[in-house]
Amino acid sequence: MPIVYDEIMQLKSAGETFRYTDRDVMLYALGVGFGRDPLNLRELKFVYENDLQVVPTFASTIGFGQMMMARSGINYLMVVYGEQRLAVHKPLPSEGEVVAQTRVVGAIDKGEGKGALVLLEKTIHDKMSGEKLCTTGATIFARGDGGFGGPSEGAPVPHTIPEREPDHSIEFETRPDQGLLYALSGDRNPLHRDPMVARMAGYRRPILHGLCTYGIACRAVLVSVCDYDPKKIADFDARFSAPVTPGDTIVTQIWVDGPVVSFRCKMKDRGLLVLDNGKCTLRT
């Protein structure tokens, strides 16, 4: 069933309740690489319940996979993640009960044979107080759904990376089993765990979740710019360029211009750009 523009633009979830615990927060942090050195006390606070801190990009896991998009008409065999965005209105508590509502905010037709972009927005509120905690956004690239007659403009404009040498360059090794670990935070797509499924999709082995790479980039910014203080991050946006193979080393290049932090990620050995147009806004 092809995309019907008027119908997809009406899609939204009713507002679902999700509960997460400190275990979920710590598991996510481990999944994006925190705690590799158990003697690093500054990282320990993200993976240990004593004064536990929440990695801001943990918000991307809340309500992951809400079934609203099953009614979109998209061919999910041809879908890849294009972009992820985050606005932090108030830092997430280390455990809580929240209400998440997702809606479609855009559907861009790139043309027959060129695919489509579907823009999603999720708002997350504290269930008890009703206070808005954060807003996440995602751009889904539906490679097989172009030519449905929707608008051709309106896609988010990518952030421009400075042309000078980076102010920081942070290397993090990924684990060969990192996809298996990260999947426990909600995204159980077999592409990231099952070698047979990965080969059917054209990969020699399972690839790492794009949102895991996104979290690793957030870790790099926290370490190098934020002095390990997650409350300093107000926004965190990035565009996915290529998949990472678990076991590869990710190099995050970072530029600091006042409250605007630009970043991108490359594979160390091949120089392949895997995350681009990154923009983090700091609270002053």
- Among residues 187, 237, 248, 276, the one annotated as catalytic is 187
Question: Is 207 designated active site?
Answer: yes
Half-sphere exposure of 155 (CA within 13 A, CB side): 18
Place of tokens 């004064």: 51
Query: CA 272 to CA 63: how far, in whole Å?
Result: 31
Is 187 an annotated catalytic residue? yes
Catalytic-role residue among 170, 207, 216, 254? 207
- CA-CA distances (angstroms) from residue 148 to 4, 24, 117, 127? 7, 39, 11, 38
- Both tokens of 240, joined, read 């996915």
The residues carrying an active-site annotation are 187, 192, 207, 210
